[in-house]
Amino acid sequence: MNRHADSFSPSITASTRPRAALHFAALSFFSLTAFLTLYPLLFSPGSRAAGYDWFFPHWAYWWVRHALTTEGLHVYTSNFVMAPFTTSFAYNAMALFWFPVWAALEPVVGTIAAVNVIIFLACVLNGYVFFVFLHSEAAAPGLALIGGVVLQVFPAVRYFYYNSHINLMNWFLIPALLLLWKAVAAAVCGGRLRRSAIAAGVMGVGLWAAVLSDLQYPIFGAFVLGPYGLLTLWRSPRRGLLAGLGVLAVGLALGLLWLAGPLPYLDDMTGTLAPSPVEERPVIDFPAGFLAMADTWWDWNSPSFGAFVSATALISLAAALARFPRGGWDRWVWLVVFVPPLVLALGPTLTIGDVRIAMPFRLLYTLTDGHFKMPWRLGPAFALGVMAFASKVWSPRLPRHRAARAFLFGGVFLLLALDLRLFAGGPTTPVLPRYATYEQMGREPYDYVVIEVPTGAGTGEILLGDADAIPLQYYGIFHGKRMVNGFISRAPLEHFWYLHTDDPMMAWLGQRRLLEPDTVENQLRQRIFDWPVGYLVVHQDLIRRKGTPPEEVIGYLNAHDALLCAPTVEGSAVFYRTRWHPDGCIPRTPPEVEPGVYAIDIGTGGDERYIGWGWHWQETVADITLRWAGDRPQTDVYLDLPRGSYEVAVAMQAFEEPRRVRIALNGRLLEGEATVQPDSLASYTFDLPADAVGSGTALALSLHYDGWLVPAEIGHSPDRRRLAVAVDWLRFTRRSG
């Protein structure tokens, strides 16, 4: 028994544990490296976030809090994304491990800063916890620090930081579980049964927490905990008891995952997941990805590991095989740890010249039913195993003098920093602008759907529709309503595929299908009152970014007064409340600039409330805001007015040659005609008789012109628009009651 105890004791005795001063120094060191790694995020609090997926953890944590505090809702099932369908969130990457931290910080600092703090904490812990484990394994402090930095800033881990993958960045959980298992083994070895049972219980909670971070952690952990667990079992004088406590820990974790986790909901996943052939998985370019860090390491499609870990593995392996320096046999366990993740991380096919070799990742892909799709995500397990192996190989033969050790570790750290570009932060993403109307929606006590325009939805397998529109899910934390757009890690195709091109309304709103006016009107009417839909929100900046004029969408929606209220305009967002909404609509009456005079300032922000089809985009020419008309044979304006007759004055200027302009009201062509000159803006007047105005509600005023010109066709400029007249403003002066 003493022989077994002695063989196990170097890894667990108090003499190998870092002193308090060393802990403080290590935490300070890893905090500094975290700061150097994440400074682009830390220097832009509240305004920028990390990566395309930045929006998701904010909504996910809002949803968890909302579900936990709202009767009738559950964390793992929801119709708040991809409405009206209800989707299981069992596979959704909500990173519940960090939810308590977010819940404590968000009310104080806001959700953007709270998630950035979480990323920073994870970065520090990735280095520090691995350092603690390595030092507990008798690694020299300097080697343990280097190992911690490697895991902390390894390219694959840094990718998780800079894409807000807070579910996958928590690699400190693996060495933390190793430390917990060591505590169980130490208590068993010392005959402290009560302490060993408590340690096993804590480990069970740790396993539960790891799975709450992401369902992939059992895969990550198996490559490390499996070999190390067998090592401790072999060392232990009470293998049966230790194995039983391991089973107890796993059983407790499974019980917690059933009572407070996703296990009961895994069977609720029905429908078809997006097809994803194994050959389409992004792989590390061999050998380039093992010799240098990719220029775009933050891109999921260009994974790399850099040269430091690869070189460390080869040099340490050569030294171990040459028996220089000498060391214990247990170092070879870490070879067993890092080789399988390395082989799997190479992906489904290894290409060497013209030779293509099928790799074992294909088996893992099949065993996980295609859910484990990114082979390079196993890279941190490779790095962890290599650095543990290297610490075992080199710790016995380090220089005795502190100065020599400091010089050596300083040089190694410099090589590491240069290879992994420690000081090169990743790109960040602007946070979406905050709109007061979303917060107003959040105060409304009604259950309804919000349709964001353009439309888009995605999963961890595929993005459909407008990829730039999927982050609009972020606004759900303000309005708190169901929505169509958004992201769910694993969602059935049936819940979102239709909006890509199959659905006339959703595909047109996403600018992927031409408008079918009657069909879209029927779908709008049915969905507004059946789902029901409370708001449509048109994001002009996203639509225009695709080269499509948002005026087509706005003009069509403004024409349907029976279904939609006059919109509210905030910045680039145009908010349409629907006629279903219990709070009703605000009249579309233009501002009364003086008694009895109502004005629409065309070309300024907010004119979207009135414009119909026929207008081009807003422009500023010589400090005058205007729009050109001419996109269609007539150009429409929608408004409400008090009853009575009016004189209408329109400030216009023709393009290149005079234009004859007449007006119509609700399809009735009125008397009078103006000849608009091309020389300068001028005011032209028309009469609106009281019988044409009628009740004054839902008025559609149209400008009819006798033609247009295309600048590119007459050699004027490259502009391909059809231009008839430019309009600066319209004024309606009331003549009688």
Of the candidates 594, 501, 138, 590, the one whose C-alpha atom is nearest the C-alpha of residue 331 is 138
Task: State yes or no: cis peptide before 141, omega within 30 of 0.
Answer: no
Least confident of 481-485, 516-520, 546-550: 546-550
Cα pseudo-dihedral 298, 299, 304, 306, rounded to 10:
-30
pLDDT of 11 > 60? The answer is no
CA dist 735 and 737 (Å) reads: 7
pLDDT of residue 87: 93
Residue 7 confidence class, pLDDT cut points 50, 70, 90: very low
SS3 654: strand
SS (H, E, C) 233-264: HHHCCCHHHHHHHHHHHHHHHHHHHHHCCCHH
CA dist 626 and 651 (Å) reads: 10
In 160-260, DSSP assigns E strands to: none
Contacts of 163 (CB under 8 A, 6+ apart): 50, 51, 52, 53, 54, 298, 300
Length of the chain as a residue count:
737
Residue 325 confidence class, pLDDT cut points 50, 70, 90: low
Burial category of 100 from C-beta neighbours within 10 Å (exposed 0-12, middle 13-18, buried 19 and up): exposed
Residue 549 confidence class, pLDDT cut points 50, 70, 90: confident
One-letter amino acid for residue 135 of the chain: H
Question: Quick one: tokens of 706?
Answer: 């006798």
CA dist 595 and 668 (Å) reads: 27
Write b or e for each residue in 512-543: b if 16 or more Cβ atoms lie within 10 A of its Cβ, otherwise e.
Answer: bbeeeeeebbebbeebbeebbbbbbbbbbebb
Share of the chain above pLDDT 90, in %: 77
Structural contact between residues 512 and 501, judged by C-beta atoms closer than 8 angstroms = yes
CA dist 30 and 127 (Å) reads: 6
One-letter amino acid for residue 29 of the chain: F
Type and span of the H or E element at 414: helix 402-419
342 or 5, which is more confident: 342
pLDDT of residue 326: 62
Burial category of 19 from C-beta neighbours within 10 Å (exposed 0-12, middle 13-18, buried 19 and up): exposed
pLDDT of residue 201: 96
Contacts of 13 (CB under 8 A, 6+ apart): none
pLDDT average, residue stretch 427-432: 94
The pTM score is 0.92
pLDDT of 227 > 50? The answer is yes
Structural contact between residues 612 and 559, judged by C-beta atoms closer than 8 angstroms = yes
CATH of 592-734, one of 2.30.31.20, 2.60.120.260, 1.10.10.10, 1.10.3210.10: 2.60.120.260
- Dihedral sign of CA atoms 466, 467, 473, 474 in order: negative
pLDDT of 274 > 70? The answer is yes
Cα atoms in the 13 Å half-sphere on the side-chain side of 229 = 20
**Cα-to-chain-centroid distance, residue 45:** 17
pLDDT of residue 480: 97
Least confident of 392-396, 646-650, 689-693: 392-396
Pairing of the two strands 699-705 and 682-688: unpaired
CA dist 11 and 291 (Å) reads: 33
Q: Where are the alpha helices (DSSP H) in 300-378?
A: 307-321, 331-345, 361-367
pLDDT average, residue stretch 418-423: 90
pLDDT average, residue stretch 189-208: 94
Cα atoms in the 13 Å half-sphere on the side-chain side of 531 = 28
- Beta-carbon neighbour count of residue 159 at 10 Å? 26
pLDDT of residue 353: 81
Burial category of 667 from C-beta neighbours within 10 Å (exposed 0-12, middle 13-18, buried 19 and up): exposed
pLDDT average, residue stretch 278-297: 87
In 20-128, DSSP assigns E strands to: 48-49, 77-78, 87-88
pLDDT of 12 > 70? The answer is no
C-alpha distance from residue 207 to each of 97, 216, 221 (Å) = 11, 12, 9
Q: Which residue has the tokens 């349907």?
A: 560
pLDDT average, residue stretch 183-211: 94
Contacts of 711 (CB under 8 A, 6+ apart): 655, 717, 718, 719, 720, 721, 723
pLDDT of 56 > 80? The answer is yes
pLDDT in tens, 78-126: 999 999 999 999 989 899 999 999 999 999 999 999 999 999 999 999 9
CA dist 53 and 32 (Å) reads: 26
pLDDT average, residue stretch 552-573: 96
Structural contact between residues 437 and 575, judged by C-beta atoms closer than 8 angstroms = yes
pLDDT of residue 737: 54
Indicate the average pLDDT of the chain: 92
Q: Where are the alpha helices (DSSP H) in 648-716?
A: 690-693
Q: Which residues pair with 600 in a beta bridge?
A: 730
